[in-house]
Each structure stands twice: as C-alpha cells, then as structure tokens.
Structure 1
Amino acid sequence: MRFSTFITAVASLAVGINAYWLGDISHQGVAPFAGSGYKVFRNVKDYGAKGDGSTDDTAAIAAAMNDGGNRCLQGCASTTTTPAVVYFPAGTYIISKSIMPPYFTQLIGDPTNRPVLKATANFAGFGLVDGNPYFTENLNWLSVNVFYRQMRNFVIDTTAIAPATAATGIHWPTSQATSLINIEFNMPTDASTVHVGLFVESGSGGFMSDLTFNGGATGASLGNQQYTMRNLVFNNCKTGIIQLWNWGWTYINLQFNNCGTGIDISAPGADNTLAVGSAIVMDSTFSNTQVAVKTAYTTSTTPDTAGSVILENIKLTNVPTAVQGGSGSLLAGGSMTIAGWGQGHQYVSGANRELSGSITPNARPASLTGSNGFYSRSKPQYNTLPASSFVSARSSGAKGDGTTDDTAALQSAINAANNGKVLFLDYGLYKVTGTLKIPAGTKIIGEGYPIIMASGSFFGDINNPQPLLQVGANSGDAGQVELTDFVVGNSGPAPGAKLIEWNLASDAANPSGMWEVHARVGGFQGSNMQVAQCVKQPGSAAINTNCIGAYMLMHVTPKASGLYMENTWLWTADHDIEDSANTQITVFSGRGLYIESTVGNFWLVGTACEHNHLYNYQFANTKNIFVSMFQTETPYYMPLPDATQPFPVVASLNDPNFATSCSGVAGNCAESWGLRIINSSNFYIYGAGFYSFFNNYDTSCSTVTAGETCQSRIVSLEKSSSINIYGLNTIGSLSMLDRDGASVASWKDNVNVYPSNIIMYKSG
C-alpha cells in the first residue's frame, strides 16, 4: 500500500469512528410501494450540500428531500408509501428560502455536532423549516392529519436577518406521531427584534423536548389542541411562550432566564371570550424574568373555565410577579418556590367549585421521581456507539417488502442484537405470521418508521389472542429493553392480534423505554384495510369481519413493571392515509392500552390511544402511574355498532360489560371508555383529553349548542383511591367523570373553549 493510500484509509477510518453512526452504516431501507430505485435514506452532502458556512445549500437540501419524483408535497393529502430520512452531517448550511419537508419525512442531524441551518440576510419564506406550507390561503396539509414526521439535532439561526424583519425558525402545525427534539434556536437579542423561534398555529397533538430558544421577540408561539413539551430553555426572550389557543397543554421542566414574560396564556378569542383552554406548568424555573405567567382567567370568564391553569413545583429567582391577571398581580413573586397554585374549576371533597389560589399537591411516590421531579429520559440516539454496534434487519435476511414472511429473519436479527449491539430496523413493511420474542437487553431503533405487521391465521382467532411483539417471554422476566422509532400494525384481518405484550419487569430506577413506537391498525398501503375494503357505512350496524384489525393494541401483564413511554400513538385508523380525500373507514380494534401490573411504576409522557372498541386506556389492579397529556377519541362509527359487539367480554381481562353496566344510564352508554381505572391507586395525571366527536359519523352531537350528547360517559374510576387529575378535558360526553357508577361532573357545568374542563380532581 502506498503511503498516501494508507493515510487516506486511516483518515476515512477516523471519520467513521468519530461521525454519528447513522451516517456510517449501510442503508438498505425498502419502500415497497414507491417504485424501484426509490431511496429512503438521503445524505444531503450526496446531493451537493456543502455545509461550509458560505455556500447556499438550499437547492441541494431540496433535492435530497424531493428525490424520487413522487414525494408528497403540494396538493398531496397524505401518504405512507414514500418515506424519507434526510441526514445532515455536521456543518453550517446556508439557506436563502424555506426548506419544505414532504409528508412522511424525518430530518435528522448529527447529535454529536449539531448541524446549523443559517438563514441569509435576504431569506424569503415562512420558517427556515416550513413543516406545512401555505401554497394557497390554506395550509397544504390538513394539520390534524399530519402524522409520522420528526426533526432532531439542529441549530436554527436567524441572526443574519435584520432584527426588525419578521422571521420564523420553524413552522410546525402537525399532529400525532410528530416531534421536534434537541434543537437550538438562535435569534437576535436587540430590543427591536420581532423574530419567532417556533410557530405552531394549528393541529392535534404532538410532542417536543430538549429545545433551547435564545433571543427573539417570542421563543415559541403555540396553538394546537393538546401537547406535551418537556425540557425547554428560554434565554433572553421578550416572551418565552405565547399560547395562541389550545384545549390543554402540559409543560414539564421549563427554564426561563432573563425574559420579559415567561408564559402568556391570556390570548383573547372572539366576542370577548378567551382562546386558551388550560395549561399545566410543572417542575420549572423562572430566573430574572419580570412575569412568570400571564393569565386572564376570572370567575366571570367566558367560556366558564377558559384560561384555567395549574402551577406545581415552580422555582422563582428574582421574579417580581409570579402570576399576572388582567387587572394586575394575582400572585406576588420574588425568590421562592411555588408548591402549587391554580385557577379554574375543582372537584375536591369539601372545596368550593371555583379555584383561584394556592393548592397542596399530593406527595409523589419516590419510585416515580428522578433528579428533577418525575422521572424522564430523552430518546436514546446511541451517539457514542460506532456503526459496528448496529445489526441490520435486512442484512439478517428480512425483506421488508410487505409480502415476504419475515418472521424467522426478524427473530434472528433480534437474537443477534445482544451484548451491547442495537438492532437497526431498516425501513420496510415486515410481514410477520407468528410471535416475535424480544428478550431483556434488546435495543431496537427504526429507520423512518418501519412497520411490523401481524398477518395470517396465527392472529385470526378472536377467542385465542396471540402477541405480535412479546417483550419478555414470561410475565415478570427481569431486565431492560429500549424500543425506538417504529410502528406495529396489521396486514389483513387480525382479530386475535395483541400488537405488543409487555411482560418485562424493570427496576423503577432504571426502567425500560418506548420512544416514538406507534401502533397503526388499517388505513395504510399494505394493511388491506383501506377505502376499497373498509369504507364507512353510516346508518348501518353491520360488522365486516374482514375489517377487524386487532384484539388489543398493547397489554402490560400483571408482573411487568418499570416502563417509560414517550410520544407513543396507538391508533386504529379512522381514515385512509393514502386516499386523496382522507376518506373515512370503519376498522375495528377491541382494546387500546391495558396495564394490569400489580407492581406499577409507569410513565406515559405525551401518549395517545384512539378509536378502540371497548376502551382506549384501561388500568386495573395497579399503582404508581404518571401521565402527561394523554388523549383519546371514541370510534367514529359508534353507536352503530355499539360496544357490545363483536368482541366477547373477557372477565379475566376486566373487560367492561356494557350489557349490564348500562342499565338505567340514559343516552349512548355502550360506547368506548376513554379511560377506565379499576381497583388501583396513586395516579398522577397532568393533562388529559377524552374526545367523542361523532354519532355514527355525524359531528352535530359534539357541539356545545347540541348539548354534548355523543355518549353518556367517558371516564370511569372504580374502587380506586388517590387519583389526582389536573386538566381533565372532555368533548361530546354528558358526564365528564364517573366514580363507582355515579357521575361526578357534568360537561355543562364546566364549559371551556371547545371541551369542558376540570382543572383539578382529587379522590381520597
């Protein structure tokens, strides 16, 4: 070998060792319905981007995102057939107009040295990254249907744009199964600045974490139905967060340093009403900030409970005003800790309905807490591992083509990913005809949300359910598992499929984790449950057995424990994602997420579970549960059919028996529970949204003027104690909350901006 060749080889090896593994590994992802030669993974430097801090890389980045010719952008409603992972190595990428990621796209930077997206002085566009462009007067995608996208590990820099010129870092009106993670926004700090770091004006649900905002007029300007945000830092912002509107929002571990106002939830709505439903702020700090929280709630607020707020464990350092109302200070500041404070409607034994003032939070179990409040852990990216630590599913023989039986190959890949290795699930649609066993010690990370699909007769018996993924061979097996960035679902009817069975017992101090692991039943190419097979039939109670896609989405068994779930969306499809009109379909799944762990210790951070037949969330015989802003929707077809068919009641699973429990209950009683808690204790719920929008595909039942008559009841507490709920939001249900068969609160007594809201409920 010549010396120059040797030096080149050594240099290449060094780059491979030091660079992020995602840029080094072989990429073999297959998109079966995108056409031959379609690339799932794209490195922007392969398309001419320089990242040298001087070259305009706008065109090269667009070329990387749009490669393939059939990406879903202007005029496309949605799709799962053309995924893309667009990778940015370290560098400074100059851009002169907006980057517009197509539908089903992930933008991923090197977390070991985050790439910088830096705007030119004459930048043109609405957001350096425009996640949902206005090609017309309307957003390109219906924001409540923008799913399965993420952006992580970037620095967004607008400092070259004149401070007095309007500029936005990221425009991100999206919904479930989306995220922004590990992003820094750098904006001018001049007094004249009008820059905004993050702008979200609409959508339904989502998750963000580990964001830092430096400078600007507003760090984040936010309007969406419901959200969980954690680990946000605001430095030298005029206002850290402006809440444009919402139904409910949970903020965890926020830091405000040298800001004018921390959080402003006082936004007006139409006709002298308020636009913000409620906000929960917990485990957060405000330093050298003039006003921590600005609110507009009063006892004469319109709607009645709009602007409700809870503050818990808030540390102030040199903050003159803790809470400012419309007519002045409501809570003085200084340097202190606010244990608890709130405004809104409370349902607490012996307390007045109207809450405005200090509250005493319940003590938190030690097993649920970490170094800064409740335990949390950011999504693992394995940035200290080399490429050699990853085992490819495709290299292990799996095809991911949507037709090949990949059961044996995937099991072989899972078994090979041990002794510190990680299974890399290359993008694909993996058809599986038996149970995949995931032993303790396994780590799996997906590329662009690959999907593992239950298929065939093994999953065909509604009376003999079988797991698709079985985490831990037996209930109570000890150890830890980490699952990240993939989807489980179905290919064809699977009435006996439990998509995830969780048997693993993990130590509460070192729990297992699921980050952005989603369930999707029907509604996508490859599921064989789309418009052609399962189009809705309003007015009919007939059940098409070919459209029963799952027995249960996730089951945590009695001896399992210690699981942290973040941004996990368990969805039985209400519409066909591939259809240009997002046409509604009727697909059946028996049960959503069922946790019956007797040990407990679970964290559900920014999760959602929708359109399941008997219930969306059910907990039985368990304890020590932390939840932040979880959300459900009742199936749109109900009450035709209602919840008494087609899934047989299984007493050993504590299934609700609507045939008996609905006796004497007026209205549409036999409908899916949003939440059911049975014989359990120590629940800490910080934000919840349980929605029933339809009566057999008709939305007139979910309006305030119609009387919220879609279903009779939606949340049930049964023989349970120490249930603590902040920010309960319901839509379409006559009763907001039932305890041991009796209604605790009616929607009409707690009207909010669209939902009804109880800001605090405590049971003995």
Structure 2
Amino acid sequence: MRFGSALLAVASLAATVKGFWLGDVAHQGLAPFAGANYPVFRNVKDYGARGDGVTDDTAAINAAITAGNPCNRGCTSTTTTPGVVYFPAGTYLISSSIFPAYFTQLIGDAGSPPTLKATANFAGFGLIDGNPYYTPVLNWMSVNVFFRQVRNFVIDTTAIAPGTAATGMHWPTSQATSLQNIVFNMPATGDVVHVGLFIEEGSGGFMTDLTFNGGAAGASMGNQQYTMRNLKFNNCKTAIIQLWDWGWTYAGLSINNCQVGIDISAGGSSNLNVGSVTLIDSSFTNVPVAILTAWTTNSVPATAGSLVMENIALNNAPVAVKGPGGTMLAGTTGSMTIAAWGNGHRYTPSGPAQFAGAFDATNRPGALLSNGRYYTRSKPQYENFPASSFISVRSAGARGDAATDDTAALQNAINRAVAESKILFIDYGLYRVTSTIRIPPGAKIVGESFPVILSAGGFFNDINNPKPVVQVGSSSGQQGQVELSDFIVSTQGVQAGAICIEWNLASSGTPSGMWDVHVRIGGFTGTQQQIGQCVKQPGNAAVNPNCMVAFMAMHVTRGASGLYMENVWLWTADHDIDEHLNTQITIYSGRGLYIESENGPFWLWGTGSEHFVLYQYQLANTRNIFMGQIQTETPYFQPTPNALVPFPPVASLNDPDFRASCAGVEGNCAAAWGVRVINSRDVSIYGAGLYSFFDNYSTACSTFTAGQTCQQRITSIEGSSSNINIYNLNTIGTREMINRDGARVAWFADNVNTFASNVAVYKSG
C-alpha cells in the first residue's frame, strides 16, 4: 500500500517559518483547580535561561519547571497542575539534573532541537531525571507516573570524561508517557561507561525516533512492558541492555557498529530476568553479536527469555543469536534477512511445544505495509507552520473551566479551523460539553498538555441510547483524513450512555492518525467520580448507580478504515489520581476498544485498555489489524460484582454473553475479556500483556503459588477467525491463557515465566 505525505502542503510555508509555532502562539491555558495565576506554559528563557552554551542554565530551567508549585518532591500525583516547559533552539549548559514535575511536558523546538549539554563536572542521575531518588525509593511510584512527555532534544554528555559514570536520561515511568525525537550523544572512544537512557522499573509506555551515539550502552532498561520504534544506535558498545521485563516490543531498530545489539541475558539461564522480547522490521549492521541471550532448553523459569524476531536484516553480523553454549543462530558477513525465528513455547495452533528455530512468518496483508514493513508515522508537530496557522479554542470563546458549557464554542472553533484550513490548538483546560462534538474530515487538532473534553449531563446518560462524546466523521464510512494529538476525552458524573470516541471516518491513501489521544475516565478533579463519590467497597456486590460513568471508551464503526493509533491509553481509573494516597475507587465503564470495521487497515502502536467491565479489546467481523504490545487490566472489583452487571449485553454490539459462555466453566469465568476476536481475519498482535491482578481488590490470586486464580479466561478467538497471530502473549492472574471457541488452548502452568505466563508464538488454525 502506498501512502501520501502530510495532509497539508508545507513547501510554501517553510521559507517563512523562523521559529517553532509553540513558542510563538498566545498561551491562554487554564488549570481551573490550580489557581487563577497558575502558569500552564513556561518558556525557559522567561525564567533566565540563556541557551548560549556558556551560561549555566540549570537553575533557570528548574525554576521554569517549578513555577506555580506543581507536583514535585513529596507529591504523590495530580492532574491539577499541568505544565508545558518550552525550550527554544540553543545550547543549554547544565551542571546538575533537570527534574520535570508530575504531569509536565518538556518540549524543545521541533525544527531546531535544543541541546542540553552537561558540564565536565556534572553531578546527578541523568541530565533529565524523570523520577529522582530523593530518598532510597523513587519520588513517584513508577507504575503511577502517567501523562508526561519529553520531545525534541539533543542530550549531550561528551564533556564528561568517558570513564566517569554518566546517564543522559533517567525515566522510570508508566502509561501515557512518551519520548520522541531525542538524540543522545556520548563519548565513542576510550573506556566509556556512559549510558544514554536508563529505566529500572515502571509500567510503560512508548518511545519513538531516538538516536544513541557512542556510550557503553545506548539504553539500559527494565520495565513491565514497552513499545519502542524507530530507534537508532551508532557506535555503542552495547546498543540495548534489557535488565528485566514481562514483554517488550521493538520495531524499526537500526543498530550500527555496536559490539552487541540487544543483551537479554540478565540473570543467567538459571534465573532469567527477561520475560520476553519481540523484535520486528529491524536491522543490524557491523554488529558481531546481534542478540545475546541466556536462554537454554533448561532455562528457569520455563519460558523466560522468550524471543520472537520477524523481518530482521543482517549486514555483516556474523552471529545473529548467541547463547550460553555459543551460536544459536548464525548470521553472516554479507547480507541476509531473518524471516522469522524465535525461542520459547509455541502453539501452532496447539501446544505447548518448546522450540528454538525458524517458524512460518506472519502472512502480512499488503494494506498494513509500507516498503515491506508495517506502516509507521510519527506524531506531527507542524514545525513548518507559523503561529498564524493555528486557531485557539480559548480565543474562540471556550472557557475550559470544567463548569461552563463549552459545546458550542468548541464546535464552532473546530468548524472554523477546518473551513480555513488551519490547525486547532486546544489550550489547556477542562472543556465541559453537553452534546456530541463532531470532528469533520480535514481537521487537525493538537492539545496543550492534555486538555480534556469532558462530557456531562443527561444527553450522555441513557444506557439504552448511547451517544458519542467525540464523533470523528458524521456517518460510518465518510471519506477523509484527520490528525488528532495530545488531548483527553473523559466524562463527568453519571454517564452510563457515553461513548467517549466514535470513529466513523474512512481514510484511503494517507491514514488518519491519533497520537497521545487518551480516554481517561474518572479519578481526577472535575469528574465527580472520585473517592467522595465512588470509593471502593470490597465485598459489596451492589452497583452504585452514581458510579456508572461510561458506556464505551472507543467504537470504530463498520464503514471506518485507515486509522493509525500511537500511544493511546483507554483507562477507567482504578484509583483517585488527585488524592494523596492514590486511594482506590470503583467506577463502571462498559466496554473498552471495539473495532467492527469491515475492511481495516488499523495500526495500534503502544495502546492500552484497562478496567472495562465486559472487555478491553474486541474485534468483530474485521480484518487487517496490527497491534504492537497491547496492555490490559481486568477491573479490580471483579468478581464482586462480576461482568454480568451493570451493563447488559447488547447483541448488535456483539457483546459477550457470560451467562451462556460460562455455563459449566469452572473458576471466575464471568470476568472481562482482555482480547476477544470474533469472525475476523488477518489480525497480528506483536506483544500483549493481559493482566488480572485482583479478585475483589485482593492480589492474593495473581501469583503462581496461588494458582493464578483471579480469572479463568482472558483471550478468546471465535467463529470463522483466521490468520490470527499472537507473539509473546503474557498473562497474569489467569488460568486459561487462550481459548478457541470456548475450548482451552493454553494453560498458565505450562508456560511459567518471570511473573507472567508466556506463549511466544500462537497461530490460529
């Protein structure tokens, strides 16, 4: 399939653009719960930074970050104090770490990325320390650090002596976070001990367009799961050191002139720490050992170190995979392509069968490909457009104070931007809407630090007549393209009939895109769905009708097609993010992401869907779906109540009917599906973490010792589904890992991994 370039011609504008529009537009963002004078946007030069490569700008940058007293040292989490800290082009000399606050974005000029350059005597754990050790533990619990970005920088440690420990960036973090367009420059010669990117824990996450030059390790990382694409490593000793994980998906890696490409040997074969790695559409050039592993046929745990590779180009890479006993897969001093190779347990379609070798590569539909690889497209930053190309919703009359009805003002701003071929800028705020916001073809919308479109009122509260909060395309199959980035859709109060996003648009040629567009339901100030209304009540199966807060997160309708989604998190909150103890809450949202497009194609890079009653992902009567390292969690309250309530199954939506399907099934059967595929074909999942941590708010069920009894089933392939491929499926708390038409395919105890159970390869029959 061939794809066009940007939807707007930029050639005539490029010559007139002198600076990045983000630094030039008026900033009117309102944080309604942080005080009237709280500064959402801060330009570091307004706080004294010079960017001249001579002046020490550390204090000025940190002053910009801490302006308005956002959530920093000792603060648990918050959504009330957002921040965009902007760096114009220049070189910013820093002598100690920069500490981004919670819910704060660090953004450089996208057209001329600024350099953060360490002094020779730099002191700190990362030029950017995203989660500091003020005490022996991280400042923020790494699995609860959400909604933050760093993009458009050069991070330079070359002034620090090669033999002195130095880290470019420390980033233990979690969902709805991203790094984009960052270059890490380190010494390339001598006894180098520098590390570009270091992550030791968390629950990520997404990264794209990173380049690592030099260093002992480009990236040294451990986290539950991650999706990373388009990473380049040049002249590193080791490109990637995988410290630990449950599941990790890499795509589009380019590893050049490194001694080792990816080291997944942590812990050794008797105690492997790396659960699984999925590697696709990547290349190794002048790399003696592409993959270093500790896996053997007797590794402990049984499936730890699972590796799946597909479409990997080798150019002078003599050893493709090296294990404890030597070469497991030979490479070449010339050029070759590994079609598909792996090790671990496979079900094709039955199993388990332990394997280490080649297998049949996925039959990739051409509709999903560009130049032989899966199609990718980075979030547009509109660096070639001047400030005059943007329309502000606040200037158009929207208030964003979480109380005013902004429906008309927001809709008028969208319509005007499309009519004038301009880009809509949603200044930060909480924009309360009482009827559907319609996004027509041609729209380009970008938010400032995750503004929120917040549904409210009776229009969205009829469970028998659900209505979309945001509707893309007026009718299913309407032709056209849109680009949406950096905002949130949510609900306020009781909203039992709210479909947060309905996607009707059919995009041919260039796909439409959603980048860092999230559904966040409940658990934050302004929603009226917090501990004051919906605090958890373990053991109480009664449904509080005031806590029925969404019908569905996102619905892709039958006529829709051509949608690219990147770093999209659909989250029904399990805790109150604005309460200092992160107290758990019980709120009810019916369905996660439902795709029933008849044709596709759809690309889901680094998406997650969590805590919906009936399912997290459901694909019905569809085809041509790519999914890269998806992540799900079952509602913490289930089975008290279970998935039979409070949302009755709707046959026209292909909802699961647990009363019928659970007849005769043992254990906790009526629990939300992680992934359900019905009568669909050409679906490929490159990494999946499907987690069920709780039984009525107790985690005792989620261990191997306890028998993984949180729920009985989590992945279902049904009906005429064909060419369904799942690589590195990791499940927690679930006994039956995969079911086909109700019959068990994979059993948790057969596939024990580090903390999850793992199936490296599943292919439907």
- What TM-score comes out, normalization by structure 1 length? 0.97
Instruction: Return the letter of the residue paired with 2:198.
Output: F
Q: 1:288 aligns with which of 286, 289, 298?
A: 286
Distance apart, 1:411 and its partner CA: 0.2
- Structure 2 counterpart SS, 1:504: coil
Distance apart, 1:299 and its partner CA: 1.6
Contact 1:598–1:623 under 8 Å retained in 2: yes
| 1:727 maps to 2:728 | yes
- The answer for the alignment partner of 2:477 in structure 1 is 476
Contact 1:289–1:319 under 8 Å retained in 2: yes
Distance apart, 1:16 and its partner CA: 8.4
Q: For each residue in 1:568-606, what CA deviation from the matched residue of structure 2 results, as whole angstroms up to 9, or x when unmatched?
A: 000000000011111100011000000000012100000
Distance apart, 1:452 and its partner CA: 0.5
Distance apart, 1:191 and its partner CA: 2.9
- The answer for the alignment partner of 1:649 in structure 2 is 649
Q: 1:464-503 alignment to 2 at 5 Å?
A: 464-503=465-504
Distance apart, 1:493 and its partner CA: 1.1
Instruction: Return the letter of the residue paired with 1:92.
Output: T
**For residues 378 and 200 of structure 1, what CA distance do their matches in structure 2 show?**
23
Instruction: Return the letter of the residue paired with 1:168.
Output: T
- Structure 1 counterpart SS, 2:139: coil
Q: Which moved more, 1:271-280 or 1:45-54?
A: 271-280
Q: For each residue in 1:120-172, what CA deviation from the matched residue of structure 2 results, as whole angstroms up to 9, or x when unmatched?
A: 00001000000000000000000000000000000000000011110000000
Q: 1:149-188 alignment to 2 at 5 Å?
A: 149-188=148-187
- The answer for the alignment partner of 2:435 in structure 1 is 434
**For residues 758 and 351 of structure 1, what CA distance do their matches in structure 2 show?**
10
Instruction: Return the letter of the residue paired with 1:742.
Output: A
**For residues 336 and 714 of structure 2, what CA distance do their matches in structure 1 show?**
39
Distance apart, 1:352 and its partner CA: 6.9
Distance apart, 1:272 and its partner CA: 3.4
Contact 1:435–1:466 under 8 Å retained in 2: yes
Percent of residue pairs identical: 65
- The answer for the alignment partner of 2:8 in structure 1 is none
Q: Kindly tell me: are residues 676 and 199 of structure 1, through their superposed partners in 2, closer, same or farther at Cα, counting changes over 3 Å? A: same
* Residue segments in structure 2 that go unaligned for 5+ positions in a row: 1-12
Distance apart, 1:14 and its partner CA: 12
- The answer for the alignment partner of 2:4 in structure 1 is none
- The answer for the alignment partner of 1:696 in structure 2 is 696
Instruction: Return the letter of the residue paired with 1:128.
Output: L
- The answer for the alignment partner of 2:539 in structure 1 is 539
Instruction: Return the letter of the residue paired with 1:619.
Output: L
Q: For each residue in 1:428-483, what CA deviation from the matched residue of structure 2 results, as whole angstroms up to 9, or x when unmatched?
A: 00000000011011010000000001100101111110000010000110000111
**For residues 533 and 372 of structure 1, what CA distance do their matches in structure 2 show?**
51
**For residues 17 and 339 of structure 2, what CA distance do their matches in structure 1 show?**
47
Aligned length: 749
- The answer for the alignment partner of 1:319 in structure 2 is 317
Q: Kindly tell me: are residues 210 and 662 of structure 1, through their superposed partners in 2, closer, same or farther at Cα, counting changes over 3 Å? A: same
**For residues 654 and 490 of structure 1, what CA distance do their matches in structure 2 show?**
24
Distance apart, 1:548 and its partner CA: 1.1
Q: For each residue in 1:32-82, what CA deviation from the matched residue of structure 2 results, as whole angstroms up to 9, or x when unmatched?
A: 00012111000000111000000000010011000013x111110000000
- Structure 2 counterpart SS, 1:59: helix
Q: Which runs of 4+ in 1 moved over 3 A?
A: 13-17, 349-352
- The answer for the alignment partner of 2:624 in structure 1 is 624
- Structure 1 counterpart SS, 2:277: strand
Distance apart, 1:320 and its partner CA: 1.5
**For residues 524 and 217 of structure 2, what CA distance do their matches in structure 1 show?**
38
Distance apart, 1:420 and its partner CA: 2.6
Instruction: Return the letter of the residue paired with 1:264.
Output: D
Q: For each residue in 1:68-105, what CA deviation from the matched residue of structure 2 results, as whole angstroms up to 9, or x when unmatched?
A: 13x11111000000000000000000000000001000
**For residues 349 and 400 of structure 1, what CA distance do their matches in structure 2 show?**
52
Contact 2:270–2:299 under 8 Å retained in 1: no
- The answer for the alignment partner of 1:305 in structure 2 is 303
| 1:246 maps to 2:250 | no
**For residues 130 and 344 of structure 2, what CA distance do their matches in structure 1 show?**
34
Instruction: Return the letter of the residue paired with 1:286.
Output: F
Distance apart, 1:350 and its partner CA: 7.1
- Structure 2 counterpart SS, 1:736: strand
- The answer for the alignment partner of 2:577 in structure 1 is 577
State the superposition RMSD in angstroms: 1.3
Contact 2:126–2:170 under 8 Å retained in 1: yes
Distance apart, 1:650 and its partner CA: 0.5
Instruction: Return the letter of the residue paired with 1:416.
Output: R
- Structure 2 counterpart SS, 1:17: coil
**For residues 40 and 362 of structure 1, what CA distance do their matches in structure 2 show?**
46
Distance apart, 1:371 and its partner CA: 2.5
Instruction: Return the letter of the residue paired with 2:696.
Output: N
- The answer for the alignment partner of 1:7 in structure 2 is none
* Residue segments in structure 1 that go unaligned for 5+ positions in a row: 1-12
- The answer for the alignment partner of 1:455 in structure 2 is 456
Q: 1:606-625 alignment to 2 at 5 Å?
A: 606-625=606-625
Distance apart, 1:117 and its partner CA: 0.1
Distance apart, 1:363 and its partner CA: 2.3
Contact 2:423–2:443 under 8 Å retained in 1: yes
**For residues 59 and 67 of structure 2, what CA distance do their matches in structure 1 show?**
12
**For residues 757 and 445 of structure 1, what CA distance do their matches in structure 2 show?**
38
- Structure 2 counterpart SS, 1:18: coil
Q: Kindly tell me: are residues 15 and 110 of structure 1, through their superposed partners in 2, closer, same or farther at Cα, counting changes over 3 Å? A: farther
Instruction: Return the letter of the residue paired with 1:411.
Output: Q
**For residues 743 and 588 of structure 2, what CA distance do their matches in structure 1 show?**
29
| 1:104 maps to 2:109 | no
Contact 1:56–1:96 under 8 Å retained in 2: yes
- Structure 1 counterpart SS, 2:601: strand
Q: 1:103-122 alignment to 2 at 5 Å?
A: 103-122=102-121
Q: For each residue in 1:224-260, what CA deviation from the matched residue of structure 2 results, as whole angstroms up to 9, or x when unmatched?
A: 0000000000000000000000000000000011000
Q: 1:231-630 alignment to 2 at 5 Å?
A: 231-268=230-267, 272-334=270-332, 335-349=335-349, 353-371=353-371, 373-418=373-418, 419-507=420-508, 509-630=509-630
**For residues 345 and 73 of structure 2, what CA distance do their matches in structure 1 show?**
44
Q: Kindly tell me: are residues 291 and 402 of structure 1, through their superposed partners in 2, closer, same or farther at Cα, counting changes over 3 Å? A: same
Q: For each residue in 1:658-679, what CA deviation from the matched residue of structure 2 results, as whole angstroms up to 9, or x when unmatched?
A: 1111100000111100010001
**For residues 481 and 497 of structure 1, what CA distance do their matches in structure 2 show?**
22
- Structure 2 counterpart SS, 1:652: helix
Instruction: Return the letter of the residue paired with 1:86.
Output: V
Instruction: Return the letter of the residue paired with 1:739.
Output: R
Q: Kindly tell me: are residues 313 and 601 of structure 1, through their superposed partners in 2, closer, same or farther at Cα, counting changes over 3 Å? A: same
Distance apart, 1:362 and its partner CA: 2.4
